[in-house]
Amino acid sequence: MGQRDSYLVAIDQSTQATKALLIDLSGRPTHRVTLAHEQIYPGAGLVEHDPMEVLANVREAIVQLVGESHVPARSLAGLCITNQRETIVAWDKTSGKPVHNALVWQDCRGAELCARLTAEGHETTIRQKTGLRLDPYFSASKLAWIARETPEGREALRAGNLMAGTMDSWLVWNLTGRKVFATDYSNASRTMLFNIHNLSWDEELLALFGLSGVLMPEARSSDATFGVALFPEFPLPLPVASVMGDSHAALFGHCGWKLGEAKATYGTGSSVMSNIGLVSASPGAGLVLSLAWGFQGKASYVLEGNIHATGYTMRWLRDNLGLFSSYDEAERLAVEAGENGGVYLVPAFSGLGAPYWKQGIRALVTGLSHGSDKRHVIRAGLESIAFQVRDLVAEMDNCSASPLVELHVDGGPTRNAFLMQFQADLLGIPVVVPAIEELSALGVAYMGGIALGVWADQAEVGSLPREEKRYEPLMGRSEREALVVEWTSALTQAISRMID
């Protein structure tokens, strides 16, 4: 391709919304469209999305983006897709309709199955093959629930017509006119059904979860060709040039393709990820091992930890408790508090993910006194984000020969200067915030752009102009350690109240 007037359309299909961005040759977004979709909560610990709504929003976002930007279709080099991970969609091959709403990564209805498989001694096998812990966070137990508990799912499986995949597979299948049923290595590696060592769906794991016979997408390199997307509004088809899970794309967007590069993505939940290169390694007890991506014929690996509630915690404080009306106000009130006053919030709304891996516990606010007010609770919510990231980085340092020297970050919460400074203080290393927030969209555009020849290689991408802000640690070691001790005490209190 290599056209000097080329643009890339990047779709970031995330938990709360679909974002469509137009990326120019300088690697900067020139236009953006965001369409939110409904969050469906059928019960405690249950979270769903309507796949048809998500698909419609993706189509509409792309059409709006191109229309509002007035960029001619001939200048669109390709479409690049990054997506919320672990969220699973299942649909009937014949009708093309979902057999149930998508079960979101936050959904816990697979907990009972995971507990049973753990009790039966299957966790070691699963971990060896997938790099993941046996946990309902990942897709397998969610898909097992759909295939077992929904009449449409049972019938489609019986007839050999049950197709399933992460959100990218659903989008690619539909956008290409149902001609391409594929996913990429990064998304496949988060299902707990994919062998990350031989890069294939594992029949033993499918059988273990009661999913033998489910039609799974072809797993491809992240920079492979994923067909062409068809839009009646455009005179030309749009090649689908790259697909990646959002956290992996964010790492690529930070130019994190070098060994030892690490980033944290702050969203509804958060991901801390470190590139360990072309050879897999033991993730230790608190982390998981995943495929970073497939790129130029080679698969790379990452160590990763996932936090269930970070941005969600602040949204809960705003929407459910009404403690503030905007995130700017939340930051101002947290600073006004001066210190946390001994107040800690453990955001175990859907249990705790890495590095704790505790299900069946509830969120907890501890340390309230007569002097506490909403400012301390808001500050505790923000601090809980930084404490959880700090615990993951500490776990990664324990698994690495050399500790991290800086942490690259992205996502909406990075606009909060209080949070970023507190994060640097807790870590004791610089936190680097890029001027462009949408690193997932940017990363998948980088990969697709290289594949299409818009950029020659990683070196050219790495030389693109960037602006960033560095937060240097200001807190003393003794103060940092004292805060970590108090946070750990709050965690212990929450875990001790585990529900059977």
Distance CA 153, CA 498 (A): 33
CB of 84 closer than 8 Å to CB of 14: yes
Tens place of pLDDT per residue across the chain (500 aa): 444 458 999 999 999 999 999 999 999 999 999 999 999 999 988 999 999 999 999 999 999 999 998 888 889 999 999 999 999 999 999 999 999 999 999 899 999 999 999 999 999 999 999 999 999 989 999 999 999 999 999 999 999 999 999 999 999 999 999 999 999 999 999 999 999 999 999 999 999 999 999 999 999 999 999 999 998 888 778 999 999 999 999 999 988 888 778 899 898 889 898 888 888 777 878 899 999 999 999 999 999 998 989 999 999 999 999 999 999 999 999 999 999 999 999 999 988 888 888 878 888 999 999 999 999 999 999 999 999 999 999 988 887 767 888 899 988 889 999 999 999 999 999 999 998 888 899 999 999 999 999 999 988 988 888 888 999 999 999 999 999 999 999 999 998 877 54
The 10 Å Cβ neighbour count of residue 315 is 16
Buried b or exposed e, range 131-142, using 16+ CB within 10 angstroms = bbbbbbbbbbbb
Quick one: tokens of 266?
């702050």
Q: Find residue 92's DSSP bridge partners.
A: 162
476 DSSP 8-state letter: -
The 10 Å Cβ neighbour count of residue 123 is 16
The predicted pLDDT at position 480 comes to 94
Distance CA 314, CA 361 (A): 19
CB of 30 closer than 8 Å to CB of 24: yes
Can you list the positions of beta strands (E) in 167-251? Answer: 182-184, 194-195, 200-201, 218-220, 228-229, 238-245
Distance CA 211, CA 207 (A): 5
Q: Which of 255, 459, 207, 493 is CA-nearest to residue 364?
A: 493
Distance CA 221, CA 77 (A): 19
Amino acid at 265: T
CB of 101 closer than 8 Å to CB of 344: no
The predicted pLDDT at position 438 comes to 86
Quick one: tokens of 310?
């970070």
Quick one: tokens of 352?
């705790």
Distance CA 446, CA 248 (A): 12
Distance CA 190, CA 137 (A): 9
User: In Å, how far from its chain's centre is CA 302?
Assistant: 14
- Please name the CATH architecture into which domain 255-434+467-500 falls: 2-Layer Sandwich (3.30)
3-state secondary structure of 56: helix
The predicted pLDDT at position 322 comes to 96
Phi, psi for 410 (deg, rounded to 5) = -155, 170
Can you tell me which residue has the tokens 């998981």?
Answer: 288
3-state secondary structure of 177: coil
Amino acid at 435: A
Can you list the positions of beta strands (E) in 297-427? Answer: 298-307, 344-346, 364-366, 407-410
HSE on the CB side for 259, CA within 13 Å? 9
Provide the sign of the torsion angle of the four alpha carbons 61, 414, 312, 102, taken in this order.
positive
Chain region(s) in the chain for CATH 3.30.420.40: 7-244, 255-434+467-500
Contact residues for 357 (Cβ-Cβ < 8 A; gap 6+): 133, 135, 286
Stated length of the chain:
500
Contact residues for 373 (Cβ-Cβ < 8 A; gap 6+): none
Contact residues for 70 (Cβ-Cβ < 8 A; gap 6+): none
Predicted structure pTM score: 0.86
The predicted pLDDT at position 284 comes to 78
The predicted pLDDT at position 1 comes to 43
Buried b or exposed e, range 49-75, using 16+ CB within 10 angstroms = bebebbbebbbebbbbbbeebebeeee
Quick one: tokens of 24?
């120019």
Distance CA 440, CA 475 (A): 31
CA distances from 247 to 79, 232, 282, 469, 494 (A): 18, 31, 20, 21, 28
Can you tell me which residue has the tokens 């946070």?
Answer: 487
CA distances from 181 to 167, 333, 434 (A): 12, 49, 35
Among the four given CATH numbers 3.30.420.40, 3.50.50.60, 3.40.50.2000, 1.10.150.120, the one describing domain 7-244: 3.30.420.40
Distance from the first to the final alpha carbon of the chain:
58
Quick one: tokens of 68?
């509002």
Contact residues for 489 (Cβ-Cβ < 8 A; gap 6+): 344
CB of 79 closer than 8 Å to CB of 62: yes
Quick one: tokens of 179?
């001609």
